[in-house]
Amino acid sequence: MANDKPGRFDHLLPILKRYYGYFWFGTLATAFSNALILIVPYLTKLAFEAIQQGQPSAAVFRLSLAMVILAVVAGVFRFFMRRSIIWASRKIEYDLRGTLFSKLLTLDPGFYHTSKTGDLMAHATNDIEAVRMMVGPGVMQVVNAVVSTVVSLAFMIALSPKLTIVTVLPLTLLSLVVNRLGTLAHKKYQIIQAHFAYLTTRVQENLAGVRVIKAYRREGSEIDRFAEASRTYIDMNLSMIRLVGLFGPMLAIIVGGVTLLVLFVGGREIMAQRLSLGTLVAFFGYMGWLTWPIMALGWVISLYQRGTASLDRINRILNTQPLILDPGKSKSSPTKVKGKIEFRNLTFAYPRPDGTTGAPVLSDINLLIEPGTRLGIIGPTGSGKTTLVSLISRLYPTQAGQLLVDDIDIRLWPLAPLRRGIGFVPQETFLFSDTLEANIDFSAEENRSGRVVEAAMLAALHEEVEGFPQRYETILGERGITLSGGQKQRTALARAIMKQPAVVILDDATSSVDTETEEKIFANLETILPGRTSIIISHRVSSLKNCHRIVYLADGRIAEAGTHDELLAKNGPYAALYRRQLMEAELEKM
Amino acid sequence: MGPAKSISDDEVLGKAYDARLMRRLLTYLRPYRLRVIASILLLLVVTVLELSGPVLVQIAIDNYISVGDNAGLVRIALFYFGILVSSFVLAYIQFYSMQAIGQRVQYDIRMQLFRHLQAMHLGFFDRNPVGRLVTRVTNDVNVLDELFSSGVVAVFGDIMTLIGIVVAMLYYNVELALITFAVIPFLVLATAIFRRRVRDTYRDVRMWLAKINAFLQEHLTGMTVIQLFNQEKRTFNRFSDINEKLRAANFRSIYLYAIFYPTVELIETVAIALLIYYGGLRIGISLLTFGELVAFLQLVERFFRPLRDLADKYNILQASMASSERIFKLLDEPPRVTAPASPKTIPDFKGEIVFDNVSFAYNEPDYILHEVSFTVRPGEKVAVVGATGAGKTSLASLLLRFYDYQKGDIRIDGMSLKAMSPEYIRSFMALVLQEVFIFSGDFAGNIHLNRSDITAEQVAEAARQVGLGGFIERQPQKYQTEVQERGATLSTGQKQLLSFARALAYNPKILILDEATSSVDAETEALIQTALDKLMQNRTSIIIAHRLSTIEKADRILVMHKGVLRESGTHQELLALKGIYYTLYQTQFNFANGSRNHAQV
Ligand SMILES: Nc1ncnc2c1ncn2[C@@H]1O[C@H](COP(=O)(O)OP(=O)(O)OP(=O)(O)O)[C@@H](O)[C@H]1O
Ligand SMILES: Nc1ncnc2c1ncn2[C@@H]1O[C@H](COP(=O)(O)OP(=O)(O)OP(=O)(O)O)[C@@H](O)[C@H]1O
Ligand SMILES: [Mg+2]
């Protein structure tokens, strides 16, 4: 099993299989339509001969009428060709995009930290379109090309083997040229796409960071950098154009050359009385029918190259093992969080994109949080506080040691009840550009009428919202930019309260809120916290009042832990911090 | 707080051809007009050369093959060959020169857009999602390039070819030509119906694609929130809805193509059948030669050739009209916060800041600052406190002229902000933003932001002053270590410190800190304080903070409340006032003491 490498079509085939019927039907329709329409040049030959032999015009009329009838029937088949094959390709596109997105929904924050949003979006749009072009128009053109080549060749050989050779050889050359150009172009195209992605990222970052750019007057250097990137982009394009520019003229010269050869060789045959003029005309007709499919073949090859390259990129995502595996529900699995949390000898390091792990961010954490108690975490910047609480929501996989929730290893918890039981207010607020109400009511639980206002009140947000012209219907800007820093944080707080979770985790959730409002929030929380387990991270000793236990984290280790008094008695880093903050307050009071 | 209005014009798709837009687009060709003219002349020559094929076939059949003139056939074949080769060369040159013009125009428009965006005011960015603006600069410009490099010219070439064919046919035989033209009305009708329908479906497809993109952009960046709140299923359903709509729009377009293409093929066959039948009759009475009939057949085939990719060209045309409309709309949006005609500078810089009855609204008439007046003396350190949403950040934004105040005036050393250029103002001020933004690139780049006159030592010094030096030194490549998009793998405090270091590296005359240490631990904060005290000696600074510890050393404290400056004075004065500050302070003090009280219980 070890070297059972995932195949390129592992994900696509099951989807394709659903629509085999469409493809079969479409192939038949394509074959019929081509076979029928290819009779037309032969009828032209018959008509020419009839005219030459001075047959009555009724005979010519019958032949002309037959052409039209053939075209009608062939047209009906053509309709079904698209209606089935292209139709199926759109269904495949839809299915594949759905598959990709549902995969993305299972991937962990670590994955998102190391991939660019722009790339992921390109996979879900451009790459999927490239795959669709491969299985839709690509397949259609292959069938088209094969059938018209075979049928035309059959007619041509029957009409004149010599002219057939004269026609087919240069056209084969055409196919080779198209293919060669296509391959070269494909390589260039990939480089250009990569550069275009870079260009996009430059604009994206420039605009997202516009406040910084303006504050530091970086507009000029940004313009210079962007100009350089754009120039490189058009230079790349021009080199591509030099290549693909050959395409049209090449096609014209080869088709013209074939016409010339047929005319020349055919003309001599006619002069030698070995060929009728009608046959020559019919050849001109078949030539036309051969050119397009043969050229299309070259095109199909590049469709295939693009499609498979895109498929590989999509597969890379689909094959990504989510680091967080949902064990799924079983009879014995827990369904509701009660609130006991225990870390046993836990050591954690962030996985790097290359699969290795960095230096440990948390080491030998032993910590027991009894249900219904309140834990405070404090410690220097970068000491691992956020990391510690992220593990409880299982945002990252635990490695060495154990993390138990209600005495059950976190890896055995189905994700849904675990996360439903935890109200986590992340340190950095992410809001959606939706209404305030939709943002607060994000968990969309049952019986929520009136609870949005209640949650907003608890988060001390309601009063301000009432002052907004559209109140809870106010649409927020991207990431919530049209709110003040504190308003954003409190919206996120209200969002977590809506869940009525058994465990509340506040990761510095009031850092942008003034003390008075903070006080109000904590007072409000007092009414809902009893009975719930809570973990509060803060840099202010004052915010940790009412905590049953306080942990001082330094360099990923628990430097000390205990009640406020115990810690003061220890006279360690916590006591020092406390004295510093208290002193400041008292000094000012004097 | 106002409604987030935005130009959601990804969904607008105008006509396929709009003379006004086209005229404006053509102005971009002006710098290259000689090349354009040369290219068009070349195109004419190439068209004539290519159309000579059927004529040569006719001559070969009638003058040489029918009469058995072998030498003549050789001669004309050689001539034909010569034409093929020269048209190959000329066509290639023509194509390249036209594409090169297209690329230059693309560059010009893209840079114009980018420059324009750099000059836009922040209110504009509040209303317009980044993703949408990015699309303007990248994809929309690419669409225009296609118009210039293939669309317009190809259509032009097609029209010339069609005219050439019509002329050639009429020249050979007026009667037969008219008979062939009998199919044209049907062709026009079919195309007209198709065109209208395809426009509608195409618009739908574009609209749903834009929605998919917007949805992905937002939900991929907010994935953690979705997962924390167990909203995977609902999110998937919402995504499927849009995906489904897109599919439905695509289905509709399949029908159009499936009907249109066979119809055109059918009309072509009808034309051929007509030709053969009537041609046969005319040959019977010697009014037409075989060569002419063959030439007619080939001309008809070429007549239909441009129609094979009509839909593509039509889509390019329509897409480029829509793109140019959006681009022009963006270019026409005037930058609101601009330098006056003759910007002034401050002759003798001291650093005095005066707010004189300033009132401000993000969206009128919802004023969020009301008649704010205060003075910061040169070298003074002033703290601004107040409840969340009171307008502190807005105050700082006004000072950097991110937005323009509606009433009153702000003056620096007696000079109104509006009399100076925004760049000049920002050259002596640095603002550490509440909302941290980290660029991808390395640590050093995030501190010097590509300003070439900031040395590596200065960068390191700034990092050390904010207490981040040790952390960066421990990274594998030190200051050259790459950080992820938006600093995703740094702790919140580390990001804040990094953005603080920027301000120090820029060594400003006036420093404004907006909650610059809210996520930083007390010890690091004290360290920064010490560094700042040295650094900002005799320089003006404004500090917005919620924590008393951060503002303890301020010379003066301003208290904001609901957009109004309510109190101002030293710490002692304000306490004595027993107003807002007093209560604010009491809460914080009691709050701090609370932990002790609690512990004593
Ligand atoms: N870009 C914006 N567009 C519209 N309204 C805004 C914008 N930014 C802020 N506001 C509104 O203006 C008011 C003042 O916001 P501001 O950010 O100045 O407050 P603040 O005092 O800095 O608050 P905080 O302490 O929470 O950061 C708030 O009601 C906010 O909703
Ligand atoms: N996704 C990540 N990948 C790799 N390293 C990370 C990641 N997130 C954080 N780190 C690193 O792990 C360490 C601990 O970060 P964490 O966010 O837990 O700190 P913190 O104690 O919450 O700090 P703060 O007080 O600034 O919020 C930091 O050195 C940080 O750079
Ligand atoms: Mg943190």
> Among residues B367, B165, B345, which one has the least CA distance to residue B271?
B165
CB contact under 8 A, A252 and B100: no
In this prediction, residue A2 carries a pLDDT of 41
Residue of chain B minimizing CA distance to A583: B549
Which residues of A fall within a CB distance of 8 Å from B107? 230-231, 234
Q: Which ligand is nearest to the CA of B514?
A: 1
Nearest to B111 among A87, A230, A419 (CB): A230
Q: Distance between CA A327 and CA A317 in Å, rounded?
A: 21
Which residues of B fall within a CB distance of 8 Å from A578? 595
B350-428+508-523+536-601 and B437-506: identical CATH topology: yes
Which residues of A fall within a CB distance of 8 Å from B68? 271
* pLDDT at position A179 over 80: no
| 3-state SS, one letter per residue, for A451-489 | HHHHHHHHCCCHHHHHHCCCHHHCECCHHHCCCCHHHHH
CB B475 within 8 A of CB B481: yes
Question: What does the pLDDT average to over B410-421?
Answer: 89
> Among residues B439, B438, B410, B434, which one has the least CA distance to residue B422?
B410
> Among residues B435, B398, B587, B432, which one has the least CA distance to residue B506?
B432
SS3 assignment, position B145 = helix
Nearest to A512 among B134, B434, B522 (CB): B434
- Ligand 1 atom closest to the Cα of residue A514 is 25
Query: Which residues face B381 on adjacent strands?
Result: B541
Measured in angstroms, how far is the CA atom of residue B366 from the centroid of ligand 1? Answer: 12
DSSP secondary structure string for all residues of B247-284: HHHHHHHHHHHHHHHHHHHHHHHHHHHHHHHHHHHHHH
Q: Distance between CA A352 and CA B202 in Å, rounded?
A: 43
Q: Which ligand is nearest to the CA of A469?
A: 1
Measured in angstroms, how far is the CA atom of residue A485 from the centroid of ligand 1? Answer: 7
DSSP secondary structure string for all residues of B147-187: IIIIIHHHHHHHHHHHHHHHHHHHHH-HHHHHHHHTTHHHH
CB B498 within 8 A of CB B464: no
Nearest residue CA, atom 17 of ligand 2? B491
Percent of chain A whose predicted confidence (pLDDT) is above 70:
96
- The model's confidence at residue B16, banded by pLDDT at 50, 70 and 90, is low
In this prediction, residue B108 carries a pLDDT of 93
CB contact under 8 A, A585 and B588: yes
Q: Is the CB of A361 under 6 A from ligand 2?
A: yes
DSSP secondary structure string for all residues of B508-534: -SEEEEESTTTTS-HHHHHHHHHHHHH
Q: Which ligand is nearest to the CA of B474?
A: 2
Ranked by mean pLDDT, the top range of A73-87, A246-260, A278-292, B308-322 is A73-87
Residues with CB under 6 A from ligand 1: A 481-487, 512; B 1-2, 126, 362, 368, 386, 388-394, 434
pLDDT tens-digit readout, B388-414:
888 888 898 899 888 888 899 999 888
The interface pTM score, or ipTM, of the predicted complex is: 0.84
The residues, ordered by sequence, that sit 6+ positions from B464 with a Cβ below 8 Å of its Cβ are none
Which residues of A fall within a CB distance of 8 Å from B226? 105
In this prediction, residue A235 carries a pLDDT of 92
CA distance A8 to chain B (A): 24
pLDDT tens-digit readout, A109-166:
888 888 887 788 888 888 898 899 889 888 888 888 888 888 888 888 888 888 888 8
Question: What does the pLDDT average to over B444-453?
Answer: 86
- The model's confidence at residue B311, banded by pLDDT at 50, 70 and 90, is low
CB contact under 8 A, A44 and B526: no
In this prediction, residue A99 carries a pLDDT of 92
Mean pLDDT across chain B: 82
Q: Which ligand is nearest to the CA of B394?
A: 1
CA distance A560 to chain B (A): 17
Residue A426 near chain B (CB below 8 Å): yes
Q: Between β-strands A503-507 and B367-376, what pairing exists: parallel, antiparallel or unpaired?
A: unpaired
Which residues, numbered 398 to 417 in chain A, qualify as contacts with chain B under a Cβ-Cβ cut-off of 8 Å?
A: 415-416
Structure-block tokens of residue B561:
């409340």
Query: Which residues face A377 on adjacent strands?
Result: A537, A551
Angle at which helix A39-52 crosses helix B290-308, to 10 degrees, equals: 160
CA distance B259 to chain A (A): 6
The residues, ordered by sequence, that sit 6+ positions from B132 with a Cβ below 8 Å of its Cβ are B6, B7, B8, B10, B214
Q: Distance between CA B193 and CA B184 in Å, rounded?
A: 14
In this prediction, residue B112 carries a pLDDT of 93
* Residue listed under structure tokens 């691992």: A384
- The model's confidence at residue A253, banded by pLDDT at 50, 70 and 90, is confident
Residue of chain B minimizing CA distance to A77: B262
Residue A21 near chain B (CB below 8 Å): no
Residue A508 near chain B (CB below 8 Å): yes
- The model's confidence at residue A584, banded by pLDDT at 50, 70 and 90, is low
CB contact under 8 A, A517 and B386: no
Domain ranges of chain A: 12-318, 336-421+504-524+531-590, 424-500
> Among residues B267, B20, B219, which one has the least CA distance to residue A478?
B219
Domain range A336-421+504-524+531-590, CATH class: alpha beta
Q: Which of these ranges, A195-209, A365-379, B138-152, B351-365, has the smallest mean pLDDT?
A: B138-152
* Residue listed under structure tokens 């904001």: B560
- The model's confidence at residue B598, banded by pLDDT at 50, 70 and 90, is very low
Mean pLDDT across chain A: 83
Measured in angstroms, how far is the CA atom of residue B141 from the centroid of ligand 1? Answer: 35
In this prediction, residue B595 carries a pLDDT of 44
CA distance A28 to chain B (A): 16
The residues, ordered by sequence, that sit 6+ positions from B245 with a Cβ below 8 Å of its Cβ are B208, B211
Q: Distance between CA B250 and CA A92 in Å, rounded?
A: 12
A12-318 and A424-500: identical CATH topology: no
In this prediction, residue B599 carries a pLDDT of 36
pLDDT tens-digit readout, A457-466:
888 888 888 8
CB contact under 8 A, A542 and B546: no
Percent of chain B whose predicted confidence (pLDDT) is above 70:
92
* pLDDT at position A524 over 90: no
Domain range B437-506, CATH class: alpha beta
Q: Which of these ranges, A373-377, B5-9, B297-301, has the smallest mean pLDDT?
A: B5-9
Question: What does the pLDDT average to over B435-462?
Answer: 86
Nearest residue CA, atom 7 of ligand 1? A482
CB B542 within 8 A of CB B396: yes
Question: What does the pLDDT average to over A404-423?
Answer: 85
* pLDDT at position B8 over 50: no
Residue of chain B minimizing CA distance to A492: B225
pLDDT tens-digit readout, A23-76:
999 999 988 888 888 888 888 888 888 887 777 778 888 888 888 899 899 999
Measured in angstroms, how far is the CA atom of residue B505 from the centroid of ligand 1? Answer: 28
Which residues of B fall within a CB distance of 8 Å from A268? 70, 73
Environment of ion ligand 3 (residues, CB < 5 A) = A 386, 427; B 491-492
In this prediction, residue B109 carries a pLDDT of 93
Element of type H or E holding A504: strand A503-507
Query: Which residues face A558 on adjacent strands?
Result: A553
Structure-block tokens of residue B529:
């304080």
In this prediction, residue A170 carries a pLDDT of 79
* pLDDT at position B597 over 50: no
CB contact under 8 A, A512 and B485: no
In angstroms, the Cα distances linking A324 to A50, A320, B10, B126, B248 are 78, 11, 37, 36, 35
In angstroms, the Cα distances linking A375 to A380, A391, A537, A562, B49 are 17, 16, 9, 10, 86
CB A199 within 8 A of CB A232: no
- The model's confidence at residue B4, banded by pLDDT at 50, 70 and 90, is very low
* pLDDT at position A485 over 90: no
CA atoms within 13 A on the CB side of A534: 29
CB A132 within 8 A of CB A89: yes
Measured in angstroms, how far is the CA atom of residue A461 from the centroid of ligand 1? Answer: 13
Which residues of A fall within a CB distance of 8 Å from B383? none
Q: Is the CB of A356 under 6 A from ligand 2?
A: no
Q: Distance between CA B206 and CA B13 in Å, rounded?
A: 9
Measured in angstroms, how far is the CA atom of residue A561 from the centroid of ligand 2? Answer: 21
Question: What does the pLDDT average to over A432-448?
Answer: 77
Q: Distance between CA A200 and CA A193 in Å, rounded?
A: 10
- The model's confidence at residue B591, banded by pLDDT at 50, 70 and 90, is low
Q: Which of these ranges, B255-264, B358-367, B592-601, has the smallest mean pLDDT?
A: B592-601
CB A365 within 8 A of CB A401: yes
Percent of chain A whose predicted confidence (pLDDT) is above 90:
9
In this prediction, residue A98 carries a pLDDT of 92
Query: Which residues face B333 on adjacent strands?
Result: none
Rg of chain B over CA atoms, in angstroms?
36
- The model's confidence at residue B5, banded by pLDDT at 50, 70 and 90, is very low
pLDDT tens-digit readout, A337-364:
888 888 988 888 887 767 677 788 888 8
Measured in angstroms, how far is the CA atom of residue A388 from the centroid of ligand 3? Answer: 9
pLDDT tens-digit readout, A272-317:
888 887 888 788 778 877 777 777 776 787 788 888 888 888 888 8
Instruction: State whether CATH 1.20.1560.10 applies to domain A12-318.
Output: yes
Q: Distance between CA B438 and CA A209 in Å, rounded?
A: 8
Domain range A424-500, CATH class: alpha beta
Structure-block tokens of residue A420:
């439903």
In this prediction, residue A231 carries a pLDDT of 93
DSSP secondary structure string for all residues of A287-323: HHHHHHHHHHHHHHHHHHHHHHHHHHHHHHHHTPPPS
Question: What does the pLDDT average to over A482-498?
Answer: 85
Structure-block tokens of residue A192:
């250009």
Ligand 2 pocket test target in B224, B472, B475, B491 with most atoms within 8 Å of CB: B491
Q: Distance between CA A389 and CA A401 in Å, rounded?
A: 15
pTM, to two decimals: 0.84
Angle at which helix B310-332 crosses helix B19-26, to 10 degrees, equals: 80
Tell me: cis bond preceding B365? Omega within 30 of 0 counts.
yes
Nearest to A117 among B60, B221, B589 (CB): B221
Entry field: residues in chain A? 590
> Among residues A9, A21, A144, A28, which one has the least CA distance to residue A91?
A21
Phi, psi for B513 (deg, rounded to 5): -115, 120
Structure-block tokens of residue B392:
């502190």
In this prediction, residue B589 carries a pLDDT of 63
Q: Distance between CA B412 and CA B376 in Å, rounded?
A: 9
Q: Which ligand is nearest to the CA of A484?
A: 1
Which residues of A fall within a CB distance of 8 Å from B426? 214-217
Domain ranges of chain B: 2-331, 350-428+508-523+536-601, 437-506
pLDDT tens-digit readout, B499-534:
888 888 888 888 898 888 878 887 787 788 888 887
Domain range B2-331, CATH class: mainly alpha
Spell out a b/e string for A333-343, using b for 16 or more CB atoms within 10 Å of the CB, else e.
Answer: ebeebebbbbb
In this prediction, residue B93 carries a pLDDT of 92
In this prediction, residue B190 carries a pLDDT of 85
Q: Which of these ranges, A412-421, B66-75, B142-151, has the smallest mean pLDDT?
A: B142-151
In this prediction, residue A93 carries a pLDDT of 92
CB contact under 8 A, A580 and B526: yes
Ranked by mean pLDDT, the top range of A232-236, A520-524, B13-17 is A232-236
Q: Which CATH fold would you assign to the domain B350-428+508-523+536-601?
A: Rossmann fold (3.40.50)
